[in-house]
């Protein structure tokens, strides 16, 4: 019988070992392993039509990245005139690095 043609009751599907046709013994423990890699560096871009709004965005993200153990390494900013909106457009690039 081909593997595509087989059907299993739903309760048996939970105990089916992938890549193996025999059900898993109920006493066996399935251990899922995962690895966490530390983020060493991260670069984020921000833009806003108001300088205070841009500062708020950056401050909020600095607080979020503290949970990832990242500190601000450098900040670069730029101001340009947006002709469609007839306003100044503030942008910034923030480089975060591991503590």
- Token duo for residue 54: 């841009």
- pTM to 2 decimal places: 0.61
In a domain, 82, yes or no: yes
Is residue 1 included in any domain, yes or no? no
Question: Could you give the number of structural domains in the chain?
Answer: 1
Q: What token pair was written down for 6?
A: 């087989």
31-84, pLDDT tens digit by residue? 667 677 788 999 999 999 999 999 999 999 999 999 989 999 999 999 999 999
Query: In this structure, what token pair is assigned to residue 66?
Result: 């503290």
SS3 51: helix
Answer for the pair 46, 37: CB distance below 8 angstroms, yes or no: no
Region label for 85, one of left (φ > 0), alpha (ψ between -120 and 50) or beta (otherwise): alpha
Q: Is residue 32 part of a domain?
A: yes
Residue 2 lies in a domain: no
* Domain encompassing residue 58: 10-98
Task: Show the tokens assigned to 61.
Answer: 């993200």
The pLDDT value given to residue 17: 47
């Amino acid at each position: 019988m081909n593997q595509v043609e087989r059907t299993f009751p739903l309760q048996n599907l939970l105990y089916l070992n992938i890549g193996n046709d025999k059900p898993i013994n109920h006493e066996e423990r399935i251990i899922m392993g995962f690895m966490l890699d530390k983020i060493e560096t991260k670069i984020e871009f921000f833009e806003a039509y108001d300088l205070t709004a841009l500062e708020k965005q950056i401050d909020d993200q600095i607080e979020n990245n503290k949970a990832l153990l990242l500190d601000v390494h450098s900040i670069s900013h730029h101001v340009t005139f947006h002709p469609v909106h007839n306003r100044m457009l503030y942008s910034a690039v923030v480089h975060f690095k591991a503590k």
